[in-house]
Structure 1
């Protein structure tokens, strides 16, 4: 896919551990975050590097590879969380670029990678995955400040391990050991590296920055048809399809009045008719349903709302909430002040009108400025976002 970028704020590459705050605010810790997604050979992409800002829109027609780019990002996040490669890539052959012929041993695969910025400066992760004849990670490289910190390679196809070498900076420049071929080696380093030398501590710091940058990811594509019916009262954690939105509203309205008030204001700006509240109420048999309070004694059940309204209010809630409400797996050992939640929104402009798109973008940029979220959204056309401060637009062409 061809790529061009029209961006106003690319991801920072400042190696300092502090961000500059507003004049009346103290500096904030620089949260690890991705500044680039690389699709070296993945699905329809070859040699593609996507710059990522705090709010990034991937724009292009159907077939340009927007959804596959989001899938690659989510796959890296799941691997960083410790998921085995077989759970992450359910259909690995679909990730292999078309017209890639197998080698003499019948092997085909794909390559993806990313750059995570943070206190350690830019840290690069590049990954080679074999899809056929069997799924396995066959190569991984972690680099920072010009030093290869971890490198793995498949030496013996008959064994389910790769040979790994990581930097020490000591008398022995590297340590070599086998690692499993179905897990991301970077995520395993804290269990294998002692951290007794400056080099090993650099390895651990870079690996932690990469894992933290990737772990807090919420892939979101609201499904209006599943948001209309009452749902069982449960954990109050929002699923990626937002079908349990009523259950989440049941929880959030009681737990955070200030944020709920902001959510109501956003809903009122994007839905037809007056809106003075949005909440869930019991619907019998342990279920709850979501309604709009119109302020005159009339309540509108979500079953009566249009697809665009439902997608809009679900996305608005996502952009206003966080890991405690969204169904994500953040690194619990890292303080919340050092984590950045990234929302992956496929079809961000699907079924929503022009005013709703602009409202969502305004909300995303404000949440990003506050350090609350980062957003990577796929849209068919980004002309409506042209000139918007704080937004990176990457154009993909089939």
Structure 2
């Protein structure tokens, strides 16, 4: 597995480069993960498309990114990897102790510069972290290793630069050590403060993720009111449309404008109504025509409507897990859209791509999508295409 034909270059890493104010993941590494070996995915643009044929690992790459995000939020390995053997590289052989595993990582850029995370996970005979490294430049800020297989812990050492160069302590082997550093590091020395700043940057960059794959078959029926934030499958689309229309007229107007760009029969409005039975129903009002209920929309129009809403909204509306202690203005939401162009006609996918670029250029949101063929995006400014090759 390899990566080729990247249409834009990664950001410069020269010392005098202006760092992004909002931390962002600029690179995902699939060192040994399912079909991927030694793959590096640059993700520094406003809108990145991972392109490749079926079996090239597009969905797997998005799954690895989403897994890192959940680990950064403090989730345990069993929650994040319910089927860990599916993550083990193809044809990987067990060692003398019958152990097999996988390795993933990422780089997050921000005010403190590039911070690199590398993670090694054992999938069998039991699921556990066996190694983790957090680095900034040439400085190793955190390093863990499995020393005693009989204990459910890894030995950790983090940068101190005080009377002792490092601090050593055991950490649990069922979660990301970097996510635990804010609770373990005192911040009394320059080295400890460097560790905390780097860990915070990485965690903020990773946690602001919304994995999205709208499922039209579940979006047509009336939905209960008050379901909360938009689900990853957009099942509760009607309820969220009702909420956004009531709470933010400007966002609603932008959504209607997007529907005009992407629908063959232009929409004059999108309306949601709360009924006496506690359910919400939604419909499109067409120019010069009768309203069209969501139940009567085709898969393409429903996916277009859902993706446009995702791109125009934020963590307060989406089922994402941003860092509550950090102001939203200092966080950048990343939307992971598997099958980005599924069921969309050429007009719809071009309109969504332009919308994704426009929202990304504002600095608060960016999109990473997976498609089989990205040739349709060739003439759209601001789109980065990363081709996956087997």
Asked whether the two chains share a fold, i.e. TM above 0.5, the reply is: yes
Residues 252 and 74 (structure 1 numbering): CA distance in 2 closer, same or farther, change over 3 Å?
same
The answer on 1:251 being equivalent to 2:243 is yes
Shift, 1:391, TM fit: 1.8
Equivalent residue for 1:143?
A: 135
Q: How does 1:283-322 map to 2 (within 5 A)?
A: 283-296=275-288, 298-322=290-314
Residues 288 and 390 (structure 1 numbering): CA distance in 2 closer, same or farther, change over 3 Å?
same
Taking only aligned residues, the RMSD between alpha carbons, in angstroms, comes to 1.5
Cα deviations by residue, 1:230-284 (Å, 9 ceiling, x for unpaired): 0000244100000100000010001111111010010122123131110211344
Equivalent residue for 2:38?
A: 47
Equivalent residue for 1:83?
A: 75
Equivalent residue for 2:225?
A: 233
Cα deviations by residue, 1:75-115 (Å, 9 ceiling, x for unpaired): 00000000001100010000001111111111100000000
1-structure distance, mates of 2:381, 2:189: 44
The answer on 1:201 being equivalent to 2:193 is yes
2-structure distance, mates of 1:274, 1:351: 18
Aligned length, in residue pairs: 389
Cα deviations by residue, 1:29-69 (Å, 9 ceiling, x for unpaired): 61100110000000000000000122110000000000000
Shift, 1:153, TM fit: 0.2
Equivalent residue for 1:265?
A: 257
| Preserved CA contact (<8 Å) 1:15 1:117 | no
Shift, 1:298, TM fit: 2.2
Moved over 6 A (4+): 14-17
1-structure distance, mates of 2:327, 2:13: 22
Cα deviations by residue, 1:290-333 (Å, 9 ceiling, x for unpaired): 10012547211011111011001100000000000000111010
Secondary structure of 1:392's counterpart equals strand
Cα deviations by residue, 1:175-222 (Å, 9 ceiling, x for unpaired): 000000001000000100001110110000000000000001000000
Shift, 1:387, TM fit: 4.3
2-structure distance, mates of 1:12, 1:30: 16
Equivalent residue for 2:212?
A: 220
Shift, 1:146, TM fit: 1.0
1-structure distance, mates of 2:6, 2:354: 18
| Preserved CA contact (<8 Å) 2:265 2:287 | no
Secondary structure of 1:71's counterpart equals helix
1-structure distance, mates of 2:54, 2:204: 32
Moved more, 280-289 or 34-43: 280-289
Shift, 1:6, TM fit: 2.2
Equivalent residue for 1:282?
A: 274
TM-score by length of 2: 0.97
Shift, 1:385, TM fit: 1.2
Structure 2 stretches lacking a partner, 5+ long: none
Secondary structure of 1:7's counterpart equals coil
